[in-house]
Structure 1
Amino acid sequence: MKFRIHHLALLSLSALLIAAGCGNNNASNSSTTTNASGAAEATALPESSKLNIKVSFYPIYEFTKNVAGDLADVEALIPAGIEPHDWEPTAQDMAEISDADMLIYNGAGMEGWVDQVLESVSGTPLITVEASKGLDIMEGTEEEEADHHHEEGEHAHEEGEHAHEEGEHAHEEGEHAHEEGEHAHEEGEHAHEEHSHDHGGLDPHVWLNPTLAIQEVRNIEAALAAAAPEHAEDFKTNAEAYVAKLEQLDQEFKDGLKDTKRKDFITQHAAFGYLAKQYGLTQVPIAGLSPEQEPSAANMSKIVEFAKEHKVKTIFFETLVSSSVADTIAKEIGAKAAVLNPIEGLTEEDRSQNLDYLGIMRQNLEALKSALNE
């Protein structure tokens, strides 16, 4: 597995003086080399250095911490309880990243700020690791919504043409009708144009499939071993122990979901495509990849119709965002709303219960078993 390693730029000297206090860079003695294929590779850090690792958000923190153990200082950039999709780094965050040895992130479009960071920060070599590198990344589950917008655009465009023609020919009704026709025509063009620029995106939620989580752990292990080869065996031992737990989790999902009465479940956020694919289920999302996306009235109607037809009794919502959409549909069909956690960050309740990735995934399994056997 080859990792993208970038020479990141320092912020301007004045910004660093303010934000970083002119601290010494822990990675100042690290370097990069170029292999025979021309790809950049990380050389080892000095043995005296303890890896200073910044990670993007909670699942990547959990995977990295379990591999690194006590051999690295691992810190998540996105605080607990913050929805990560729209988080942006501050100047202080940028300074801390520039001062780190490694930046590990999920990738696949999850962290929209990564390219900005790589372009804005330079200086001593920083090893960057895209944990999802090499995984089979799926397209985002927004096809039905996109089709709906396309149909709306086409319909509005046709209405605009029709109204425009009426305006042209209805001279007895005056210029007002003509202007209305022009206006509707422009609205149709606008709706049609909006669709033509809506290309969707990749689904980054690979960590919700335990088998893909294992691959991310392996990628992180390889990166740490390359950066600190004197600890490679320790990283391997730690990774093997954690992978064994993920393999057990995978088996629990297989056993728990193989004989359920139904195979489809409705979610507020299209985060569970990888999990559904792995265990033979069908995710029916109310909205798309962004948890903040508001579904259209037409799509809400379709979901209600589907739920009634299939006698769905549970509508899943998630932590960190409002449950209002799921609550509305649940009330409409006489169902209940329940949590299916995308594990994009720990809540205060999670922390108070000492829950981690494995614990929350097991809660998700129980929630799915309950809903799919109603």
Structure 2
Amino acid sequence: MRYTKSISLLLLAVTVVLSACGNNSNKTLVEGKTNVVTSFYPLYYLASEIGGDNVNVVNLIPAGVEPHDWTPKSQDLTIASKAQLFLYNGAGLEGWTDDFLKGLPKNSGLIAAEMSTGIDLIHGNPEEEEEHADEEHADEEHADEEHDHDLDVDPHTWVSPKSAIIMAANVKNSLIQADAAHKDQFEANYKELVSKLEALNDEFESQLAAAPHKSIVVSHQAFGYLARDYSLKQIAITGLSPDAEPRAQDLLDVAKIVKSEGIKYIYFEELVSPDLAKTIANETDAKLLVLNPIEGLTPKQEKAGENYLTLMEQNLQNLLTGLQEQ
């Protein structure tokens, strides 16, 4: 097959680097407000919208840092120990959370809450395991080693508006627990935000249901909840974790699917090396489109006033383009 050589060479030459930005709010606590520490941008957004003027939100993960690999420094622990509330995604996204919380002073009074609670989590990638069943049976020991990350829980809950609605409720309840005096304001802000998230969900449901095609080829396996909630089929080039690099055979399998299903677009992330996606696109005569996992904002997006809602709208339009053009 003509693309076998280029894919093999690319695997030797390229290391895929996932580099997501986070809203880098000033890491400063404010007296007289409820100080909320969030682990990454989506929670920063939800806490800021629901908390409003009554809270000061500090986002831990700085711009340009991938949340899977980031680990806190002593200054982050100091800030959190003096805050009232710490919100983290959970589901395996922040592997440092347990040690971080154990490192807090016993008298800190910090409330820690996991925002993926209540979401039906995705474990591994059943479709991929089924597709590669014969291959794994033939070389089970090697497959177990190479596909180790595919057996993890998918942490990318927030990429689906349905999950974001659940997470918003978790944020609201946590804010009330930390600051009951402003319950009414939190409830009002939450109601306003959820109406927007529900409208977004309605758009995704109606417009994606009408799309004639359902398969999306993505650079990173970050869209499992989006695919599940809106009846799409995610075909990922790389795995759940940034260091889950694909084998040459995996790339060949993706290229075969692109060809056989007549897929015209390969989705990549702006802050992820597009080389693997670009190679498959070039070898299958497909085009490239952005699909943003919204792990954070770029400085350009932040300056333009983009947020979770506007970026998800852009995702929807790009999905519709790809699903209509096959």
Name the TM-score, length of structure 1 as normaliser: 0.74
**Is 1:77 paired with 2:60?**
yes
Which protein has greater RCO, CA pairs closer than 8 Å, 6+ apart?
A: 2
Equivalent-residue separation in structure 1 for 2:210 and 2:44 (angstroms):
33
3-state SS of paired residue (2:113)? strand
Equivalent-residue separation in structure 1 for 2:261 and 2:144 (angstroms):
36
Partner of 1:294: 245
Deviations 1:232-278 (A, max 9, x none): 11100000000000011111112221111211110011111111111
Partner of 1:253: 204
Equivalent-residue separation in structure 1 for 2:224 and 2:310 (angstroms):
20
Equivalent-residue separation in structure 2 for 1:138 and 1:152 (angstroms):
21
Query: Does structure 1 retain, via aligned residues, the 8 Å contact 2:294–2:311?
Result: yes
Give the deviation of 1:196 after TM superposition: 9.9
Aligned equivalent of 2:308, options 338, 343, 357: 357
Q: Give the residue type in structure 2 aligned to 1:126.
A: L
Partner of 1:133: 117
Equivalent-residue separation in structure 1 for 2:280 and 2:160 (angstroms):
27
Q: Give the residue type in structure 1 aligned to 2:115.
A: A
Unaligned 5+ runs, structure 2: 1-28
Larger mean Cα displacement after TM superposition, 135-144 or 123-132: 135-144
3-state SS of paired residue (1:85)? coil
Equivalent-residue separation in structure 2 for 1:362 and 1:290 (angstroms):
25
Partner of 1:10: none
**Is 1:118 paired with 2:118?**
no
**Is 1:346 paired with 2:300?**
no
Structural mapping, 1:265-304, within 5 Å: 265-304=216-255
Residues 260 and 103 of structure 1: is their aligned pair in 2 closer, same or farther, counting only changes over 3 Å? same
Aligned equivalent of 2:188, options 219, 237, 240: 237
Partner of 2:19: none
3-state SS of paired residue (1:74)? strand
Equivalent-residue separation in structure 1 for 2:157 and 2:262 (angstroms):
29
Partner of 1:313: 264
Q: Give the residue type in structure 2 aligned to 1:141.
A: N
3-state SS of paired residue (1:86)? coil
Give the deviation of 1:192 after TM superposition: 7.3
Residues 192 and 141 of structure 1: is their aligned pair in 2 closer, same or farther, counting only changes over 3 Å? closer
**Is 1:55 paired with 2:38?**
yes
Residues 207 and 192 of structure 1: is their aligned pair in 2 closer, same or farther, counting only changes over 3 Å? closer
Query: Does structure 1 retain, via aligned residues, the 8 Å contact 2:215–2:234?
Result: yes
Equivalent-residue separation in structure 1 for 2:152 and 2:144 (angstroms):
18
Give the deviation of 1:101 after TM superposition: 1.1
Partner of 2:172: 221
Equivalent-residue separation in structure 2 for 1:230 and 1:252 (angstroms):
35
Equivalent-residue separation in structure 1 for 2:263 and 2:167 (angstroms):
34
Name the TM-score, length of structure 2 as normaliser: 0.84
Equivalent-residue separation in structure 1 for 2:56 and 2:301 (angstroms):
23
Residues 340 and 291 of structure 1: is their aligned pair in 2 closer, same or farther, counting only changes over 3 Å? farther
Equivalent-residue separation in structure 2 for 1:285 and 1:126 (angstroms):
38
Query: Does structure 2 retain, via aligned residues, the 8 Å contact 1:316–1:339?
Result: yes
Give the deviation of 1:102 after TM superposition: 1.0
Query: Does structure 1 retain, via aligned residues, the 8 Å contact 2:92–2:155?
Result: yes
Deviations 1:35-74 (A, max 9, x none): xxxxxxxxxxxxx942111000000100111110010110
Equivalent-residue separation in structure 1 for 2:317 and 2:206 (angstroms):
12
Equivalent-residue separation in structure 1 for 2:237 and 2:146 (angstroms):
19
Number of equivalences:
296
Aligned equivalent of 2:281, options 320, 330, 335: 330
Partner of 2:214: 263
Aligned equivalent of 1:90, options 63, 68, 73: 73
Equivalent-residue separation in structure 1 for 2:276 and 2:146 (angstroms):
24
Query: Does structure 2 retain, via aligned residues, the 8 Å contact 1:67–1:235?
Result: yes
Q: Give the residue type in structure 1 aligned to 2:307.
A: D
Query: Does structure 1 retain, via aligned residues, the 8 Å contact 2:172–2:190?
Result: yes
Give the deviation of 1:214 after TM superposition: 0.9
Equivalent-residue separation in structure 1 for 2:262 and 2:150 (angstroms):
33
Query: Does structure 2 retain, via aligned residues, the 8 Å contact 1:82–1:345?
Result: no
Residues 80 and 145 of structure 1: is their aligned pair in 2 closer, same or farther, counting only changes over 3 Å? farther
Give the deviation of 1:224 after TM superposition: 1.0
Residues 58 and 309 of structure 1: is their aligned pair in 2 closer, same or farther, counting only changes over 3 Å? same
**Is 1:107 paired with 2:90?**
yes
Give the deviation of 1:80 after TM superposition: 2.6
- Percent identity at matched positions? 42
Equivalent-residue separation in structure 2 for 1:371 and 1:198 (angstroms):
27
Give the deviation of 1:303 after TM superposition: 0.4
